[in-house]
Amino acid sequence: MSKIFSIIGRDKRARAGEVQTIHGVFPTPAFMPVGTLASVKTLSPVDLDDCGTDIILSNAYHLSIRPGEDIIARFGGVGSFMGWRRPILTDSGGFQVFSLAERRKISEEGVIFRSHLDGSLLNFTPERSVEIQEKLFSSVIMCFDECVSSPADKEYVANSLERTIRWGLRCKAAKRDNGQLLFGIVQGGTYLDLRGISAEKTVMSGFDGYAIGGLSVGESQSVMYEVADYTAGLLPEDSPRYLMGVGTPEDILTGISCGIDMFDCVMPTRNARNGLLFTSKGKLHIKRKEYEKSDLPVDSVCNCYACKNFSLGYLRHIYKAGEILALRLNTIHNLTHYLSLVKGARSAIIEHTFDDYKREYLHKTARGDGGEHINDS
């Protein structure tokens, strides 16, 4: 493997680094906004830039169904297609093995899905997933894996992770030498011994980076932290580590303290569309009556377009009126909050003040407006 990851700062186990891709470098820790269908919902590429985005995530399964990877290949890949000229990581379809559980059948060969759009049968294999992701021309290809929900029977998890190892080797064998990175995925559910086996074998297989999959799928927060912490410690120091589908700001800060470098989650974008906003003083729900007459911004320390130009009163009005602009402004705010959080973490790691940074953030944000609970699904 060529050296694609440079660590430029450390604070205990937390790392500040850079990942080199064919679409340029992205700094770590990195949070990847989710653009499942080649659009980070409500945002344009200019908006993503303005929020401080360095890398986004898209999805092989969804794009293969609509509009189809061959169409996207004609446009030069998903980045060219959507006008995002910087790094993109594509999920392999493995998470859909989990989330569309009632619509698929798993075998050693791969997974047969029933399309969530038209019910047609789709055959996903490691080779097919890599082929799709090569046509999408993402910067980072994820191995095709099985993500098991929690709780799960230990024997099932043990067999599943072995199959994921074999699938990872098939992905590696299938992948062309075209500069796209390939990340392996460690599974093993909540069983630390199985995580150990999975990590060892995945690292033995050899990938450009290593993901921790199968967390935030039903287990408690403390178990998630324990497994992430344990697993991260088993992964190579000189490769990027990615905690898939996680999470809250607290989850991300905790992951960073465990030595994890990359995160993705729909939480900032989906919650934005549901009116829940992350601020430096905790979460608030924009539809609350108390904001009706407020000329204050959502967050006085935030530099996003929404906070610099609009009041809580206006944002509440357009949210309640069902105006589409509300969804976009909320999304711009939440993503800016998340991306500022990881950028701040990166600076703190370099300055060896990450523990203080994390503690202060969690202290300040411990109480929100008492509005609706976060939607983390």
Q: Which is nearer to a copy of itself, 135 or 358 (CB)?
A: 135
70 is an active site residue: no
67 binds a copy of itself (CB under 8 A): yes
Kindly state the DSSP code that residue 61 receives in the 8-state scheme: H
311 binds a copy of itself (CB under 8 A): yes
Q: At what angle do helices 324-350 and 354-364 cross, to 10 degrees?
A: 150
Of 51-59, 241-249, 327-335, 340-348: span binding a copy of itself (CB under 8 A) = 327-335
Alpha-carbon gap, residue 252 to 260, rounded angstroms: 9
CB of 116 to a copy of itself, least distance (A): 12
328 binds a copy of itself (CB under 8 A): yes
Alpha-carbon gap, residue 105 to 125, rounded angstroms: 12
Q: What is the largest CA-CA distance in the chain?
A: 61
Q: Which is nearer to a copy of itself, 320 or 352 (CB)?
A: 320
Which of 317, 355, 360, 374 is close enough to bind a copy of itself by CB under 8 A? 317
57 binds a copy of itself (CB under 8 A): no
305 binds a copy of itself (CB under 8 A): yes
CB of 331 to a copy of itself, least distance (A): 9
Map the footprint of a copy of itself across residues 4-43, applying CB under 8 A.
Answer: 37-39, 41-43
* CA dist 222 → 11, 148, 250, 259 (Å): 23, 18, 12, 17
Number of residues near a copy of itself (by CB under 8 A): 38
325 binds a copy of itself (CB under 8 A): yes
88 binds a copy of itself (CB under 8 A): no
Alpha-carbon gap, residue 331 to 266, rounded angstroms: 11
Catalytic residue among 11, 47, 54, 91: 91
Alpha-carbon gap, residue 344 to 358, rounded angstroms: 10
Question: Which ranges in the chain belong to alpha helices (H)?
Answer: 45-51, 60-65, 69-74, 78-82, 94-99, 126-136, 154-174, 192-205, 221-232, 249-257, 267-273, 305-309, 312-320, 324-350, 354-364
Question: Which ranges in 9-74 belong to alpha helices (H)?
Answer: 45-51, 60-65, 69-74
How many CB atoms neighbour CB 259 within 10 A? Answer: 19
CB of 42 to a copy of itself, least distance (A): 5
Q: Which is nearer to a copy of itself, 2 or 324 (CB)?
A: 324
120 binds a copy of itself (CB under 8 A): no
CB of 362 to a copy of itself, least distance (A): 32
The interface mask with a copy of itself, positions 258-297, x = CB under 8 A, is: ----------------------------------xx-x--
Residue 203's contacts (CB-CB under 8 Å, 6 or more residues apart) are: 184, 210, 234, 235, 236
Catalytic residue among 11, 47, 54, 264: 264
Q: At what angle do helices 324-350 and 249-257 cross, to 10 degrees?
A: 20
Cis peptide before 29 (omega within 30 of 0): yes
98 binds a copy of itself (CB under 8 A): no
Which of 119, 155, 289, 324 is close enough to bind a copy of itself by CB under 8 A? 324
Map the footprint of a copy of itself across residues 334-353, applying CB under 8 A.
Answer: none
3-class secondary-structure state, position 174: helix
Q: Residue holding tokens 């411990």?
A: 366
Q: Which is nearer to a copy of itself, 51 or 197 (CB)?
A: 51
* 44: Cα separation from own chain's centroid: 19
85 binds a copy of itself (CB under 8 A): no
82 binds a copy of itself (CB under 8 A): yes
Which of 24, 83, 179, 233 is close enough to bind a copy of itself by CB under 8 A? 83
Kindly state the DSSP code that residue 31 receives in the 8-state scheme: E
How many CB atoms neighbour CB 186 within 10 A? Answer: 32
Closest CA to 79 of 27, 132, 35, 42: 35
* CA dist 107 → 31, 97, 159, 227, 334 (Å): 33, 11, 12, 27, 40
91 is an active site residue: yes
Which of 32, 147, 194, 327 is close enough to bind a copy of itself by CB under 8 A? 327
Question: Which active-site residues does the annotation give?
Answer: 91, 264
- Give the residues lining the site for a copy of itself (CB under 8 A): 37-39, 41-46, 66-67, 71, 74-75, 81-83, 292-293, 295, 305, 309-311, 313-314, 316-318, 320-321, 323-329
